[in-house]
Structure 1
Amino acid sequence: MKKTMKHTTPITKTLAAAGLAGILMISASGLPSAHVHAETKAAASTSQVTAPTVAPQRVTSKTLQSKEKWLETNIKIPVFQGLTDTKYQDQLNDIIESHASKDIAKWEQEATEAAANAQKNGYTMRPYQLTITYELTSDGKDDSLISLKVITEGIGMNNGDPRVDTYNFTNEAEAQRVTLEDLFGKDYKSIVDKAVKTAIAADQDHYFANEDGFQGIDAEQSFYVADGKAYIVFQKYSIAPGSTGIPEFAVKLPGKASDKKPAAAVLKPGAYYKDNNGKLMVQVSVLRQLQFNVKWSGKSKTTEISKGAVWSAVTLNKDAYTLGKMAPRSLGSAPVMKKGHVYVPLAFLTDVLNLKADQGKHGEITLTAGK
């Protein structure tokens, strides 16, 4: 992207003003496989979430496929339409499709070689998988800033190999690439570094330490913008073990009107699933985004949740949920541990903690304080 779309002018002063309004950290649990995609689509019909509102369509989807029989694909890439700078639009669409085509070719070759090796050595070959999805996180309504992330995950003989690519630019007559310096000013590095270090320190067990850990962002740091925050993205294994997934750290943009909005937490596809009981199961750690204290005890297999006078606790494999001194109640599924994350029924958040849940058009679930 850098060769054809160089940044030449800064974004508006509103975005460029320096200062840190606050920080928030999210640890993604990993990207969804095709199987999880099917579960999340089914989960979208639950009565516990509200149907999304229709937003102006900035992008359409294009499906790409592979003819290699040993590679199963689920690929939908974004195609921008209606941008003011049509030349930039065409270049960006070409770049995104080119990246996807190269990923397909790479995984086709690896799958073909693995199949030949399996036949030679007499063992069963399972098809490789390649999934590409995307999320338009900012559609240009605020300060003409458009932000997109494309998620690519290939699965072969070993664990999944995910990658997140981000694109940030202004929708103007001459579109311009947007950088973290545009958003936070000349001190952007110290502002973002401080935010990331603070968030990691609060959850150090999920991150590498010392020379293997976070050393600071660079000029080409990946990020995307959503709801008045810049989400700083690190690839899997770069600063944390695989169980942490793809770490994202959200830093509030200075001077944004969204600072006045009610606190909200976002569950992205991959951070929830539908279990065998038909219950939507979500990561309890999402409550940290709403300033809840979430504390895990490995000895008792219990997670304590507290915020002010609110207190609750959930225990693995026990379908008993309580708030304060109220009698325990069953919600149809017990808390479970998956890949280092504790999952609870969404009903625990909505019916017990009295939070409101709404589902967006890309599958994300937004939690806010109930009435």
Structure 2
Amino acid sequence: MRYKKKIISLASILALISTNISFADTFSSKLELTKDINTNLSMYKQNNINDMFTIQTKEIKQESEFFKSDIKYPYLKIKEEYINNNKVNKKHIENINKQIENYIIKFNNKIKKEAKEYQELYETKFSKSDEDYVKYQYELISDFKVTYNKNNLISIPITTYAFMGGAHGMTYLKSFNYDLSTGKEIKLKDVFKEDVNYKEIVNSFVKKEIEKSEDIYFGEKEGFNGINENQEFYIEEGKLVIYFQLYDIAPYYVGIPKFEMTVDEFGEYFKMKF
């Protein structure tokens, strides 16, 4: 009887040891898996420049009798903990900020200069005339949207509205697309694989989209006749957006024509991942 009890007791101990070993193995495996995930996540964060800066808003507000501006534009600021990190090239970030700011400043100065010329004309000629001239205040309004900021890519379309008298103002769309790992501005051809004819693919797509509502677009001579090397675009999550300025391929009332090429449909041709 004692012998049987010893056997049962020994079996229980062995079972318990086996269970503990199994639990320890499982726990160890989970720890290793967690460690691998954390390591990969850490490596991703180290290699993902998008996480190393914040996007702030700079503003320009000016107003006089003949000119008014209300401008918002982006500024990329490197986070303090990454200032001395070799992964972030400060010159790249500074260059991006400089290009965006130069565009805004030039636009603002241009409209401001034209407002000054109009003011001089109004004060020297129009105000002394017997005719009833309308007095205009030139206006510039600008804002931006970050449509993509992942995978070391950033895409920021800036919308600017300028009023310089007349029936209505004009809206302009300018996108800033960059590869953060190189600091270079992305051209449309860079989005596509080298072995594909990107112009042919885009042209075919845009033409098909226009045909769906061809009555709102200009005819062949004034309308869409294909893209060029400087075709404007921006990137969204899972989309490449091709766009045209007012009056480029359609009347004013159509607005800024945009054509979305999705990753689901055209992903096989894209080199970049978004």
TM-score relative to the length of structure 1: 0.50
Task: Output aligned runs, 1:148-227, within 5 Å.
Answer: 148-158=156-166, 159-172=168-181, 174-185=182-193, 186-227=196-237
Secondary structure of 1:66 counterpart: strand
Aligned residues of 1:223 and 1:231 also touching (Cα < 8 A): yes
Aligned residues of 2:59 and 2:71 also touching (Cα < 8 A): yes
Give the unaligned 5+ runs of structure 2.
1-50, 80-87, 128-132, 269-274
Give the aligned residue type for 2:72: K
The Cα shift of 1:180 comes to 2.4
Give the aligned residue type for 1:81: K
2:67 maps to 71
Task: Output aligned runs, 1:211-250, within 5 Å.
Answer: 211-250=221-260
The question of 1:251 aligning with 2:247 is answered: no
C-alpha distance 233-58 of structure 1, shift in aligned 2 (>3 A): farther
The question of 1:98 aligning with 2:94 is answered: no
Aligned residues of 1:118 and 1:124 also touching (Cα < 8 A): no
For 1:198 and 1:255, locate their aligned partners in 2 and report how far apart those are by CA, in whole Å: 18
Give the unaligned 5+ runs of structure 1.
1-54, 257-371
Aligned residues of 2:245 and 2:256 also touching (Cα < 8 A): yes
The Cα shift of 1:68 comes to 4.2
Give the aligned residue type for 1:222: E
Aligned residues of 1:181 and 1:187 also touching (Cα < 8 A): no
Give the aligned residue type for 2:153: L
The Cα shift of 1:76 comes to 0.6
Larger CA Rg, structure 1 vs 2: 2
Segment of structure 1 superposing worse, 80-89 or 210-219: 80-89
For 1:169 and 1:133, locate their aligned partners in 2 and report how far apart those are by CA, in whole Å: 19
Residue deviations 1:199-228 (CA, integer Å, cap 9, x gap): 100011111011111011111111000021
The Cα shift of 1:56 comes to 9.7
Aligned residues of 1:144 and 1:171 also touching (Cα < 8 A): yes
2:12 maps to none
For 2:170 and 2:95, locate their aligned partners in 1 and report how far apart those are by CA, in whole Å: 27
Residue deviations 1:263-299 (CA, integer Å, cap 9, x gap): xxxxxxxxxxxxxxxxxxxxxxxxxxxxxxxxxxxxx
Aligned residues of 1:73 and 1:131 also touching (Cα < 8 A): yes
Secondary structure of 1:212 counterpart: coil
The Cα shift of 1:57 comes to 7.2
Task: Output aligned runs, 1:351-370, within 5 Å.
Answer: none
Alignment equivalent of 2:149, drawn from 127, 139, 154: 139
Give the aligned residue type for 2:139: Q
TM-score relative to the length of structure 2: 0.67
1:112 maps to 116
Give the aligned residue type for 1:171: L
For 1:225 and 1:191, locate their aligned partners in 2 and report how far apart those are by CA, in whole Å: 17
Q: CA-atom RMSD, angstroms?
A: 2.2
Aligned residues of 2:53 and 2:76 also touching (Cα < 8 A): no
For 1:219 and 1:114, locate their aligned partners in 2 and report how far apart those are by CA, in whole Å: 36
Larger helix proportion, structure 1 or 2? 2
C-alpha distance 89-243 of structure 1, shift in aligned 2 (>3 A): same
Residue deviations 1:276-332 (CA, integer Å, cap 9, x gap): xxxxxxxxxxxxxxxxxxxxxxxxxxxxxxxxxxxxxxxxxxxxxxxxxxxxxxxxx
1:81 maps to 77
Aligned residues of 2:63 and 2:69 also touching (Cα < 8 A): no
Residue deviations 1:219-241 (CA, integer Å, cap 9, x gap): 11110000211100111101111
The Cα shift of 1:110 comes to 1.4
The Cα shift of 1:189 comes to 0.8
Of all paired residues, the percent bearing the same amino acid is 29
Segment of structure 1 superposing worse, 193-202 or 114-123: 114-123
Secondary structure of 2:116 counterpart: helix
